[in-house]
Amino acid sequence: MPAEQSTMPRGVDTDLYLEIQQFYAAQMQALDGGDATGWAETFTEDGVFATNADSSATCGRAAIAQAAHAAAARLAEEGLVQRHWLGMLDARPGPDGGVRVRYYALVIRTPGGGDPVIWRSCAGADELVRHDGGWLVRERRITRDDVG
């Protein structure tokens, strides 16, 4: 009996998928390593970062950098190490040669000398655009599981 044809829409090809995974690995390691400016530079100049936990989005690379610096300072003050784990990436071709990516994210916090704790569980939806042979985030929408 022949296999049934899948009704699931096709994603991007394997090489592009791996490239996108590498983009996210570098992006999250920059953020978690305290390089708020480097992390913000992975957004377009007019990039948007929005979450269902806040009624207003952070718009523009400069504002995104400022928010990331403030968050890094709070973590350092509290003696916490924070790590982001992104998985279950679903990458689909988007408009103008871009890519739309949906994923799950866990935010793990570890106090000095303490045990790691999953602090947040989220779903993300990004619109990535090509820039100088790499990728930038034009828009990121984070949906936290703990916010109704």
Q: Which domains does the chain have, with CATH numbers?
A: 14-144 (3.10.450.50)
Taking the C-alpha atoms of residue 105 and residue 59, their distance in angstroms, rounded to an integer, is 21
| Neighbouring C-beta atoms of residue 68, cutoff 10 Å | 22
Helices (H), the chain: 14-32, 36-40, 61-78
* Average pLDDT of span 119-146: 97
**Pair 49, 140: CB distance under 8 Å:** yes
pLDDT band at 142 (very low <50, low <70, confident <90, very high): very high
Taking the C-alpha atoms of residue 142 and residue 112, their distance in angstroms, rounded to an integer, is 27
The residue behind tokens 């829409």 is: 9
Dihedral (CA of 73, 77, 81, 86) sign: negative
Lowest average pLDDT, out of 1-10, 31-40, 57-66, 103-112, goes to 1-10
Helices (H), 33-130: 36-40, 61-78
Task: Report the run of H or E that residue 2 belongs to, with start and end.
Answer: none
Backbone angles phi, psi at 14, to 5 degrees: -60, -45
pTM over 0.85: yes
Residue 95 has a pLDDT of 80
Judge whether residue 4 has pLDDT over 70.
no
**Pair 38, 29: CB distance under 8 Å:** no
| Neighbouring C-beta atoms of residue 96, cutoff 10 Å | 8
Residue 148 has a pLDDT of 77
| Neighbouring C-beta atoms of residue 115, cutoff 10 Å | 6
